[in-house]
Protein backbone atom coordinates (compact mmCIF):
# COMPACT_ATOMS: atom_id res chain seq x y z
CA UNK A 1 0.00 0.00 0.00
CA UNK A 2 1.19 3.49 -0.82
CA UNK A 3 0.24 6.32 1.53
CA UNK A 4 0.06 9.99 0.58
CA UNK A 5 0.46 11.79 3.88
CA UNK A 6 -0.58 15.34 4.72
CA UNK A 7 -1.45 17.25 7.87
CA UNK A 8 -3.23 20.37 9.09
CA UNK A 9 -5.27 21.17 5.98
CA UNK A 10 -7.21 23.75 8.00
CA UNK A 11 -9.91 24.30 5.40
CA UNK A 12 -7.51 25.03 2.51
CA UNK A 13 -9.02 22.69 -0.05
CA UNK A 14 -7.30 24.16 -3.14
CA UNK A 15 -3.73 23.89 -1.76
CA UNK A 16 -4.53 20.31 -0.71
CA UNK A 17 -5.65 19.35 -4.21
CA UNK A 18 -2.57 21.07 -5.66
CA UNK A 19 -0.28 19.08 -3.33
CA UNK A 20 -2.03 15.77 -4.05
CA UNK A 21 -1.93 16.38 -7.80
CA UNK A 22 1.77 17.22 -7.69
CA UNK A 23 2.49 14.11 -5.60
CA UNK A 24 0.58 11.89 -8.06
CA UNK A 25 -2.33 10.86 -5.83
CA UNK A 26 -5.03 11.18 -8.49
CA UNK A 27 -3.00 9.52 -11.25
CA UNK A 28 -1.83 6.59 -9.10
CA UNK A 29 -3.21 3.27 -10.37
CA UNK A 30 -1.59 1.19 -7.61
CA UNK A 31 -3.31 0.58 -4.23
CA UNK A 32 -3.02 3.83 -2.31
CA UNK A 33 -4.70 5.92 0.35
CA UNK A 34 -4.58 9.47 1.64
CA UNK A 35 -3.61 9.94 5.30
CA UNK A 36 -4.42 13.27 6.95
CA UNK A 37 -2.96 13.92 10.37
CA UNK A 38 -5.71 16.00 11.88
CA UNK A 39 -6.86 19.62 11.91
CA UNK A 40 -9.01 19.42 8.82
CA UNK A 41 -10.63 22.84 9.24
CA UNK A 42 -10.44 26.18 11.09
CA UNK A 43 -8.33 28.54 8.98
CA UNK A 44 -9.35 28.57 5.31
CA UNK A 45 -12.65 29.39 3.65
CA UNK A 46 -13.17 26.15 1.68
CA UNK A 47 -14.71 24.03 4.43
CA UNK A 48 -17.69 22.86 2.35
CA UNK A 49 -15.49 21.71 -0.55
CA UNK A 50 -13.13 19.90 1.80
CA UNK A 51 -16.01 18.26 3.66
CA UNK A 52 -17.47 16.90 0.40
CA UNK A 53 -14.07 15.69 -0.79
CA UNK A 54 -13.32 13.81 2.44
CA UNK A 55 -16.82 12.33 2.58
CA UNK A 56 -16.38 10.92 -0.92
CA UNK A 57 -12.97 9.47 -0.04
CA UNK A 58 -14.44 7.79 3.04
CA UNK A 59 -17.13 6.21 0.88
CA UNK A 60 -14.38 4.86 -1.40
CA UNK A 61 -12.20 3.68 1.52
CA UNK A 62 -9.41 5.91 0.16
CA UNK A 63 -8.59 7.96 3.25
CA UNK A 64 -7.32 7.43 6.80
CA UNK A 65 -8.02 10.29 9.17
CA UNK A 66 -6.13 10.93 12.41
CA UNK A 67 -7.82 13.18 14.92
CA UNK A 68 -6.32 16.57 15.74
CA UNK A 69 -6.83 19.12 18.49
CA UNK A 70 -9.07 21.22 16.25
CA UNK A 71 -11.52 18.33 15.98
CA UNK A 72 -11.62 18.37 19.77
CA UNK A 73 -12.33 22.11 19.67
CA UNK A 74 -15.23 21.61 17.25
CA UNK A 75 -16.78 18.88 19.39
CA UNK A 76 -16.39 21.08 22.47
CA UNK A 77 -18.08 24.02 20.73
CA UNK A 78 -21.13 22.10 19.51
CA UNK A 79 -21.70 19.89 22.54
CA UNK A 80 -20.32 21.23 25.83
CA UNK A 81 -20.61 24.91 24.92
CA UNK A 82 -23.76 24.50 22.77
CA UNK A 83 -22.72 26.99 20.14
CA UNK A 84 -21.63 29.81 22.45
CA UNK A 85 -17.95 30.29 21.60
CA UNK A 86 -15.18 31.02 24.00
CA UNK A 87 -12.36 33.23 22.77
CA UNK A 88 -10.27 30.23 21.72
CA UNK A 89 -13.07 28.98 19.46
CA UNK A 90 -13.02 32.30 17.64
CA UNK A 91 -9.24 32.77 17.60
CA UNK A 92 -8.64 29.22 16.34
CA UNK A 93 -11.25 29.48 13.59
CA UNK A 94 -13.57 26.80 14.99
CA UNK A 95 -16.56 29.13 15.18
CA UNK A 96 -16.04 30.24 11.58
CA UNK A 97 -15.87 26.60 10.45
CA UNK A 98 -19.22 25.89 12.10
CA UNK A 99 -20.68 28.91 10.33
CA UNK A 100 -19.30 27.75 6.97
CA UNK A 101 -20.53 24.17 7.33
CA UNK A 102 -24.01 25.13 8.53
CA UNK A 103 -24.51 28.31 6.47
CA UNK A 104 -26.04 29.73 9.65
CA UNK A 105 -26.65 33.46 9.74
CA UNK A 106 -23.68 34.83 11.74
CA UNK A 107 -25.90 37.56 13.19
CA UNK A 108 -28.39 35.03 14.55
CA UNK A 109 -25.96 32.35 15.69
CA UNK A 110 -25.12 34.00 19.06
CA UNK A 111 -28.82 34.37 19.89
CA UNK A 112 -30.02 31.05 18.50
CA UNK A 113 -26.94 29.26 19.79
CA UNK A 114 -28.76 26.02 20.61
CA UNK A 115 -30.12 25.83 17.06
CA UNK A 116 -26.69 26.73 15.72
CA UNK A 117 -25.06 23.94 17.75
CA UNK A 118 -27.69 21.46 16.58
CA UNK A 119 -27.08 22.44 12.96
CA UNK A 120 -23.34 21.94 13.48
CA UNK A 121 -23.97 18.53 15.03
CA UNK A 122 -25.94 17.57 11.93
CA UNK A 123 -23.10 18.32 9.52
CA UNK A 124 -21.25 15.61 7.61
CA UNK A 125 -18.13 16.65 9.49
CA UNK A 126 -19.61 15.87 12.88
CA UNK A 127 -21.82 12.93 11.90
CA UNK A 128 -19.47 11.08 9.55
CA UNK A 129 -15.92 12.46 9.42
CA UNK A 130 -15.09 12.94 13.10
CA UNK A 131 -16.38 9.47 14.09
CA UNK A 132 -14.08 7.96 11.44
CA UNK A 133 -10.97 9.58 12.94
CA UNK A 134 -8.32 7.60 14.80
CA UNK A 135 -6.00 8.57 17.65
CA UNK A 136 -3.17 7.08 15.61
CA UNK A 137 -2.49 4.87 12.59
CA UNK A 138 0.40 2.44 12.46
CA UNK A 139 2.22 0.42 9.81
CA UNK A 140 5.30 -1.79 10.01
CA UNK A 141 7.72 1.11 9.91
CA UNK A 142 5.67 4.23 10.69
CA UNK A 143 3.34 5.70 13.30
CA UNK A 144 1.01 8.49 12.22
CA UNK A 145 -0.25 10.96 14.84
CA UNK A 146 -1.36 14.56 15.05
CA UNK A 147 0.83 16.14 17.74
CA UNK A 148 2.78 13.24 19.22
CA UNK A 149 2.35 9.93 20.98
CA UNK A 150 1.10 10.24 24.57
CA UNK A 151 3.96 11.08 26.93
CA UNK A 152 4.63 13.09 30.08
CA UNK A 153 5.79 16.69 29.85
CA UNK A 154 8.53 17.56 32.31
CA UNK A 155 10.51 20.69 33.11
CA UNK A 156 13.36 19.84 30.75
CA UNK A 157 11.50 17.87 28.10
CA UNK A 158 9.28 14.80 27.93
CA UNK A 159 9.37 11.22 29.16
CA UNK A 160 7.84 8.12 27.64
CA UNK A 161 4.94 6.21 29.12
CA UNK A 162 4.65 2.43 28.95
CA UNK A 163 1.74 1.41 26.76
CA UNK A 164 1.03 4.67 24.95
CA UNK A 165 -1.18 2.91 22.38
CA UNK A 166 -3.74 2.20 25.09
CA UNK A 167 -3.40 5.57 26.81
CA UNK A 168 -6.50 7.16 28.27
CA UNK A 169 -8.67 9.51 26.23
CA UNK A 170 -7.37 12.36 28.37
CA UNK A 171 -3.73 11.56 27.54
CA UNK A 172 -4.52 11.27 23.85
CA UNK A 173 -6.27 14.63 23.94
CA UNK A 174 -3.20 16.19 25.58
CA UNK A 175 -0.91 14.47 23.06
CA UNK A 176 -2.72 16.24 20.21
CA UNK A 177 -1.36 19.55 21.57
CA UNK A 178 2.28 18.41 21.82
CA UNK A 179 4.91 19.83 19.49
CA UNK A 180 6.46 16.62 18.16
CA UNK A 181 9.66 18.43 17.16
CA UNK A 182 10.16 19.35 20.81
CA UNK A 183 9.35 15.84 22.07
CA UNK A 184 10.89 13.38 19.62
CA UNK A 185 14.28 13.16 21.34
CA UNK A 186 12.66 12.17 24.64
CA UNK A 187 9.58 10.09 23.75
CA UNK A 188 9.82 7.82 20.74
CA UNK A 189 9.26 4.31 19.44
CA UNK A 190 12.35 2.25 18.65
CA UNK A 191 12.75 1.23 15.00
CA UNK A 192 9.81 3.32 13.81
CA UNK A 193 9.44 6.80 12.39
CA UNK A 194 6.65 8.92 13.83
CA UNK A 195 5.00 11.20 11.28
CA UNK A 196 3.18 14.14 12.83
CA UNK A 197 1.53 17.49 12.19
CA UNK A 198 0.18 20.17 14.54
CA UNK A 199 3.24 22.43 14.80
CA UNK A 200 4.71 24.53 11.98
CA UNK A 201 7.73 22.77 10.51
CA UNK A 202 9.72 26.01 10.46
CA UNK A 203 10.14 25.45 14.20
CA UNK A 204 12.29 22.38 13.56
CA UNK A 205 14.26 23.94 10.73
CA UNK A 206 14.92 27.04 12.81
CA UNK A 207 15.48 25.78 16.36
CA UNK A 208 16.92 22.32 15.65
CA UNK A 209 18.65 22.66 12.28
CA UNK A 210 19.41 26.37 12.90
CA UNK A 211 18.33 27.27 9.38
CA UNK A 212 16.12 30.31 8.92
CA UNK A 213 13.54 31.87 11.18
CA UNK A 214 10.15 30.50 12.16
CA UNK A 215 8.00 33.12 10.40
CA UNK A 216 10.33 35.51 8.63
CA UNK A 217 11.04 35.69 4.88
CA UNK A 218 13.64 32.93 5.32
CA UNK A 219 11.24 30.53 7.10
CA UNK A 220 11.18 26.97 5.76
CA UNK A 221 7.78 25.29 5.92
CA UNK A 222 8.76 22.16 4.00
CA UNK A 223 8.74 18.81 5.87
CA UNK A 224 11.13 18.52 8.79
CA UNK A 225 13.14 15.30 9.02
CA UNK A 226 14.93 14.07 12.13
CA UNK A 227 15.85 10.78 13.74
CA UNK A 228 12.53 8.99 14.19
CA UNK A 229 10.38 11.94 13.11
CA UNK A 230 8.86 13.54 10.05
CA UNK A 231 6.83 16.70 10.72
CA UNK A 232 4.44 18.01 8.06
CA UNK A 233 2.47 21.08 9.18
CA UNK A 234 3.22 23.68 6.50
CA UNK A 235 1.30 26.42 8.33
CA UNK A 236 -0.73 26.86 5.16
CA UNK A 237 -2.31 30.12 6.32
CA UNK A 238 1.20 31.62 6.12
CA UNK A 239 3.00 29.50 3.51
CA UNK A 240 0.12 29.04 1.07
CA UNK A 241 0.86 25.36 0.46
CA UNK A 242 0.22 21.92 1.97
CA UNK A 243 3.00 19.40 2.47
CA UNK A 244 2.49 15.90 1.08
CA UNK A 245 4.94 13.02 1.33
CA UNK A 246 4.61 9.52 -0.09
CA UNK A 247 5.25 6.54 2.18
CA UNK A 248 5.56 3.01 0.82
CA UNK A 249 4.57 0.15 3.08
pLDDT by residue (tens digit) across 5-23?
Answer: 999 999 999 999 999 999 9
Fill in the DSSP letter of residue 139.
-
Q: Name 13's Cβ contacts closer than 8 Å, sequence gap at least 6.
A: 44, 46, 49, 50, 53
**CA 171 to mean position of chain CA atoms:** 17
Q: Which of 85, 78, 81, 84 is nearest to 122 (CA)?
A: 78
> What's the rounded Cα separation, in Å, for the pair 106 and 98?
10
Residue 86's pLDDT is what?
86
Domains, the chain: 2-68+133-248 (3.60.21.10)
Phi, psi for residue 154 in degrees, rounded to 5: -120, 175
Q: Name 211's Cβ contacts closer than 8 Å, sequence gap at least 6.
A: 205, 220
Question: Residue 159 pairs with which residues in a beta bridge?
Answer: 152
pTM for this one?
A: 0.96
Question: Residue 246 pairs with which residues in a beta bridge?
Answer: 4
pLDDT single digits (tens) 200-230: 999 999 999 999 999 999 999 999 999 999 9
> What's the rounded Cα separation, in Å, for the pair 225 and 228?
8
Tell me how far CA of residue 79 lies from CA of 72, 107, 115, 126, 207, in angstroms. Answer: 11, 20, 12, 11, 38
Quick check: 202 and 172 in contact, CB under 8 A? Answer: no
Residues of the chain under the 70 pLDDT cut: none
Task: Report helix, strand or coil for 6.
Answer: strand
Residue 83's pLDDT is what?
82
Residue 174's pLDDT is what?
97
Amino acid sequence: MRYYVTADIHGFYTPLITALTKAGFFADSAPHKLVILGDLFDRGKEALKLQAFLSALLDQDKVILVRGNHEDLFEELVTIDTGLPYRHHVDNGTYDTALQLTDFDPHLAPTLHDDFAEAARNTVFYQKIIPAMLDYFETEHHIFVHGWIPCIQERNGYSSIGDWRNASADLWEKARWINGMAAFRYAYEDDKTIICGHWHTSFGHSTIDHAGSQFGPDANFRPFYGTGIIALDACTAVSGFVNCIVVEN
